[in-house]
Amino acid sequence: MSKAERTKRYIIRKSSVHFNKKGYAGTSLRDITELTGLTKGSIYGNFENKEAVAQAVYRYNAKNIGNQLLSVVQNCKGGAKEKIVAILDYYRDNWEDFSKAGGCPLLNAATEVDDTLPKLVVDVRNSFKGFTKMFENIISEGMEEEVFKEQLNVGKLASTMVILIEGGVLLAKTMDNRDFLEIAFNRIEGIIENEMKM
């Protein structure tokens, strides 16, 4: 890895939590220099502008959570139902750390990019498509295993699960009350038991 690549990664890593907590528009170049200990010239020597840093940081944060969720699914010993519950348990078990780091990077970026960082919209949409696709794959797997009913609307169910997770995260973080997380997750578990299972 070149020195320039190491410096870029350092800038991204050191500013990732700040961007997630303070926002992509709310994080200034001065914040980045203070977090990294680098000069403005060093930042601009590695990134075209602050928006380029924001995009790189978003991709880093989104990839991290995506990899963690993928690991949860891949390491799950059970079938499709257990994989969905494992994703919910990941949020339950890591909620405190998740909340301290500013919450869900997908959700945080989604609430501000349309108005302030239009170049980031495509990345955010792709992240949500990937999250939804993960659920679609698990639901399809459950149908093949004959654990879930045959004629399910896979896309609609997957989207509903993403909506409930993100809504639960949003309310739990905003209201500082994880009960909202449980309300959303209990609803997903109810959908599995009452609408999806054979």
pLDDT digits (tens, 9 = 90+) for 27-62: 999 999 999 999 999 999 999 998 899 999 999 999
Q: What is the percentage of the chain residues whose pLDDT exceeds 70?
A: 100
Tell me whether residue 40 is in a domain: no
User: Measuring CA to CA, which residue among 184, 186, 131 is closest to residue 155?
Assistant: 131
Tell me whether residue 147 is in a domain: yes
What confidence score (pLDDT) does residue 157 get? 98
Per-residue pLDDT tens digits for 73-120: 999 999 999 999 999 999 999 999 888 888 899 998 988 887 777 778
Burial tier of 77 (Cβ tally within 10 Å: 0-12, 13-18, 19+) = exposed
Mean pLDDT of the chain: 94
Tell me whether residue 156 is in a domain: yes
Domain span at 95: 57-196
CATH of the domain at 83: 1.10.357.10
Tell me whether residue 118 is in a domain: yes
User: Measuring CA to CA, which residue among 119, 89, 109 is closest to residue 185?
Assistant: 89
Coil, helix or strand for 107?
helix
Quote the CA–CA distance of 143 and 89 in Å, as a whole number.
22
Tell me whether residue 5 is in a domain: no
What confidence score (pLDDT) does residue 150 get? 94
Tell me whether residue 12 is in a domain: no
What confidence score (pLDDT) does residue 189 get? 98
CB 109 within 8 A of CB 58: yes
Tell me whether residue 97 is in a domain: yes
Number of domains in the chain: 1
* pTM of structure: 0.92
Tell me whether residue 124 is in a domain: yes
Quote the CA–CA distance of 152 and 129 in Å, as a whole number.
19
- Say if residue 149's pLDDT is above 90: yes
